[in-house]
Amino acid sequence: MSSKKSYEELKERFKKIALLGGTSSLLGWDERTYMPRGGANVRAEQLALVAGMIHEEVTDPRVGELLSELEQSDLVKDADSIDAANVREIRHWYGKKIKLPKDLVEEEKKVTTLAQGEWVTARKNNDFKAFQPWLEKIVALKLKIADAYGWEGEPYNALLDDYEPGATVKDVEATFAGLRDDLVVLLGKIKGAPKKPDVSIVERDYDVKLQRIFGEAVAGAMGYDFANGRLDITTHPFCTTIGPGDTRITTRYNPKRLNDALFGTMHEAGHGLYEMGTESEKNFGMPAGEAASLGIHESQSRMWENQVGRSKSFWKYFFPQAQRIFRDSLGDVKLDDFYGAINNVQPSYIRVEADEATYNLHILLRFELERALLTGDLKPADAASEWNSRFEKYFGIKVDCHANGCLQDVHWSAGLIGYFPTYTLGNLYSAQFFAQAKKDIPNLYDQFENGQFSPLREWLREKIHRHGGRYRATVLGKKVTGESLSHKPLIDYMTAKFGEIYGF
């Protein structure tokens, strides 16, 4: 068979896998938005069935035959080409997935689907004991999976690679260590600063219906395309792609706080823009049509949420609109005071609502706990108390309830262990990419002031989105910025910004 034909066959197979994947995403989206509670058991079975089907397709020995053939062909001659990248990344996934027995894949899907429902209830009731048996099951399953993949150093490496291909705990740790040191210094300066923003401005009454209208207007200005997406409400906000032309986002509204849904919507819309910007139709189901890594994904959401959404230029344009919409709460407020309030730095319990400066401490905490859960140094039964004691050490505040502690995030119930470091990687990439965008695009902030966001969006599309998974994250980062990943751009950006707000 010619390599061209074999490549076509591989593409057909991966399109089918992507169709199954999109079906699973749709079932998952429905589960978290509109499914009645009573649907939980059958939904778990449906998702497990599809996961098993996907696993069978991915691990079909025919995929291995096609890969071996293509690896000998001219198709991969130029290692940088899209085709070679597709073969390289599929080989990587195939190599991992054939090590997993199908029943383990189905069991993981079933347990994590049920556990997510249990987590919602446990969080509502602030009841760690009710969640503990599920955490035990999930840690045991993830360890089984890590062992099946095989690992060096520690089991966490095997799981991290699922979300950030090629990344290792050692590399991540090296970058995080510098960040941790500089963050401590920055937070110290903020704590001792002469000026303090008045955060009460964003904690007034903000009608949920109006928040929704304003959030949709902002997402629309970013370029999130509502003809190819939609915005719904969930406990834990997310972005999911059902297939080319259908990328959905969710948010949660707090009638007493403007920040949560607004920046949450911008965050998820940033993810959405990445998904909408990949050439997913041309490379349907192929790595080149999908995200490079979750770290790169998160860099897109965080850039729109923070570098754009929490910039003064952005609000020079949007604040008069916000004042008209939320007249009672913002009518008498000055732009500078509002800008201070949305950027207020204050240690708080909930990661997704954290300010930019303390956010990464939340990730460092989870990263340490997860590694310890997998090595066995930390028992799931002790996860809540260990969380609380470390949290007090890092943030200087006592956790008041488990819903504000280890039950706040969906990840552990969803089996997403190994995922958290990608959030901090995303913050680091976002700052490094944005520093480059400012160099490449003249007067970027002036454009924001005029409500022009398409130059940035097109820059991101050109430099990052359209490549999909063609390049590994570290390679892409270097291509875009000319430098390896560093914590410096993030620290420089935050020091300048908070220095102005806090007067140090």
Q: How far apart are CA 374 and CA 369, in angstroms?
A: 9
Say how many CA atoms lie within 13 Å of 327 toward its Cβ: 1
Backbone φ/ψ region at 396: left (φ over 0), alpha (ψ -120 to 50), beta: left
CB closer to Co ion out of 161 and 298: 298
Out of 268, 298, 305, 386, the active site residue is 268
User: What is the pairing mode between strands 239-243 and 231-233?
Assistant: unpaired
Q: How far apart are CA 237 and CA 252, in angstroms?
A: 7
Of the candidates 469, 500, 416, 338, the one whose C-alpha atom is nearest the C-alpha of residue 156 is 416
Closest CB to Co ion among 265 and 301?
A: 301
**Closest alpha carbon to 457 in 296, 318, 251, 269:** 269
The Cα 73–Cα 3 span in angstroms is 6
DSSP type of residue 428:
H
* SS3 state at 378: coil
Of 94 and 304, nearer to Co ion (C-beta) is: 304
Give the binding-site size for Co ion (rule: CB under 5 A): 2
CB of 406 to Co ion, least distance (A): 20
Q: For residues 269-298, which are near Co ion according to CB under 5 A? A: 298
Which CB sits closer to Co ion, 137 or 267?
Answer: 267
The residue (of 214 and 274) whose beta carbon lies closer to Co ion is 274
Beta carbon of residue 259, minimum distance to Co ion (angstroms, whole number): 16
Residue nearest to Co ion (CB): 301
- Structure token digits, residue 347: 């240690």
Q: Is 268 a catalytic residue?
A: yes
Contact (Cβ atoms closer than 8 angstroms) between residue 70 and residue 7: yes
Q: How far is the CB of 266 from Co ion (least distance, A)?
A: 11
Within 128-230, residue ranges assigned H as helices are 128-149, 156-163, 169-191, 208-222
Please give the full DSSP string across 451-472, using - where no structure is assigned. Answer: T--HHHHHHHHHHTGGGTTSS-
**Footprint of Co ion on 146-205 (CB under 5 A):** none
Least distance from Co ion to the Cβ atom of residue 296, Å: 11
Amino acid at 469: G
Q: Which among 41-49, 250-258, 301-309, 473-481 is the span making contact with Co ion, rule CB under 5 A?
A: 301-309
- Smallest gap from Cβ 81 to Co ion, in A, equals 30
Nearer CB in complex with Co ion: 301/388 = 301
Inter-residue contact 249 to 234 (CB < 8 Å): no
Cα angle value 77/80/464 (rounded, 5°): 160
251 binds Co ion (CB under 5 A): no
Write down the least CB distance from residue 352 to Co ion, Å. 9
Among 46, 59, 113, 301, binds Co ion (CB under 5 A): 301
The residues carrying an active-site annotation are 268
Q: What is the binding site for Co ion (CB under 5 A)?
A: 298, 301
